[in-house]
Amino acid sequence: MMSAGVAKTSAPAFFTVPVVASAPPHSQKLAGFTANRKQAAAGNVKTGQSQVAFGCATLVTATAAVARSLRRHKTAGARQPKCVRYARGGEEEEWRPRNCPFSDADLADVRSKVGAMEGPEAGYSGPPYEGPKNIDAEFVKSLLAFQKDGGLVPKKYAYLMVLDIIDILGKEATMPNMSIPDGGSLTVIGDLHGQLFDFPSIYELAGVPSATNQLIFNGDFVDRGSWSVEVILLVFALKLMNPEAVGLNRGNHEMLEANIIYGFAGECGTKYDLDLFNLFSEAFRRLPLAHLVDKKVLVLHAGLPGPNPRIWMPGQTHDPTDAIPLTPPPSLDEIAAIDREFEVGPEDYKNAIGPSTNNKDLIDKRFLVDLVWSDPRGSKGWGPSYRKARGIYTFGPDVTKAFCEKNNLQCILRSHEVKQEGYTWDHSNLLCTVFSAPNYLDTGNNKGCVMRLTTAAGGKIKFEPFQFEAQPHPDLAPMHWQTFITDNYPYLLRKMKKKVVEFDEWGDSDFAGMSLMNFDEWEPDEAEQFQDAFKVDMFGRELDNLDQYDS
């Protein structure tokens, strides 16, 4: 790991993502907005499209070579990543998180260095790690007890476990298929958020993974809770023990931006080092984005894909008549085709808004943002999300119904939101949310829950919730280890402020119990600035800066 002291706060943001533009297709005409917005949009779209075309002509050639710089690349069977490099002229290079894939050669080099590390210190009382084949139920039981007593897995073992999980995840599809075994069950576990002392309750309810007892951990394993390293190593141990019986989905907290801000990077740096954090990030990039259970239930972390084209109107509210109207839903094949191994930077959310496109990179980026960030709403169509300034949507019951009907699904099973009872059904029982971190942030007063799926008469899938209460834990506040980042690497952080969310007078059920939300509705100061509707196009993009957006 490169040495770094406290750096100047004027350093560039830790994400610098190349912009790729192409001439936009003709935007389809959509109804459903108030008359004054239609009038404003009509004049702006014509002007905006001409400016997009001008910007595209100068950008597309120069940027084509870096179109997939944050993604997995294969040439002659080898992984060939392209990275965004950070250098400060005349100064020592500062530490930056690695935001591009490891090549096969990179991983082989790491494994060689880990092989030369010293083993556990004398007196180590936890289970020895000798590779996936030595993990069984007794290993997991011993590891959990060791961690609860304050033990830390030796550095060499931690590195080896992450390297081995990277190998396994790299062979999995973006949307793997899983089945409920005959006479058995499949249990979905929601957000964990580093709450180690609640993991025994989850493990007792979910059971040891096996051919007759399948498990899906539905994202957000880390961040917020101050035992995220311990929790993710337990989850990885279960996957290593029985890869076919354990599915792992990527959540919004398996992304660099969240990990830098919400504690996991600081915890890795404090307990181990930031080289291991980079290796965890590689594992997270390889996580599937969804699992399809018996071709009837889609399990994903957050929500469904947003509108196409991705309209974003300044000042849009949660008035049910102010929704972005329904557009045809994507197919499961389109989700399965996502090239998932990339990061989403702070600017990518607003840059993802815009016309329909054939640009595969931009399509994948939009899908990933939606699958790990979006939330349901009570009224029809799509609306704005409280979680980010622009680019993240909430989706209505008509969106869920259309998606399920097109893809012949019984329902969608997701996580991402705190629920008072640990779970809830929405959208006429087509959408279920399960959350497994009880008393979230030590203030939520919510129950945790896991959802067990079995096959009922007639072939339909039966859902059975198992709730549990929060357990006592040592006096360690959430995000305790974040000071490692704020003290040593403050240039990685943006100035943040809390959004003030008012009561929704339209009675929308999007955020019923807002005090129990995941508290991810933080954003930069500039996101609160007033947007003049007559200076943006129908996608909410500033007409003077259209060349910054992908198309």
The residues, ordered by sequence, that sit 6+ positions from 13 with a Cβ below 8 Å of its Cβ are: 345, 346, 494
Bridging pattern class, strands 375-376 and 393-395: parallel
* CB-side neighbour CA atoms (13 Å) of 59: 20
Catalytic one of 26, 73, 193, 253: 253
Whether the bond into 309 is cis, omega within 30 of 0: yes
Q: Which residues pair with 64 in a beta bridge?
A: none
Nearest to 251 by CA among 278, 277, 284, 293: 284
C-alpha of 458 from chain center: 35
Please state, in angstroms and rounded to a whole number, the distance separating the CA atoms of residues 441 and 482.
14
> 424: which strand partners?
433
| Nearest one of 434, 422, 407 to 469, comparing CA atoms | 422
Write out the two tokens for 316: 């849009």
C-alpha–C-alpha distance, residues 143 and 120, integer Å: 14
Residue 158 CA to residue 453 CA, distance in Å, equals 32
What's the CA angle centered on 323, arms 317 and 325, to 5 degrees? 165
Query: What amino acid occupies position 17?
Result: V
Contact 363, 372 (CB under 8 A): no
Cβ contacts of 144 within 8 Å, gap of 6 or more: 199, 200, 203, 234
184 φ, ψ (degrees, to nearest 5): -115, -155
Q: Tokens 């897995």, residue?
A: 153
User: Closest by alpha carbon to 294, among 181, 215, 188?
Assistant: 181
φ/ψ of 540, rounded to 5, equals 80, 15
427 among known catalytic residues: no
Instruction: Determine contact, residues 375/44, Cβ cutoff 8 Å.
Output: no
Residue pair 438/224 in contact (Cβ under 8 Å)? The answer is: no
| Residues 395, 374 contacting (CB under 8 angstroms) | yes
Integer CA distances (angstroms), 158 to 266, 268, 522, in order: 16, 11, 32
Please list the active-site residues: 253
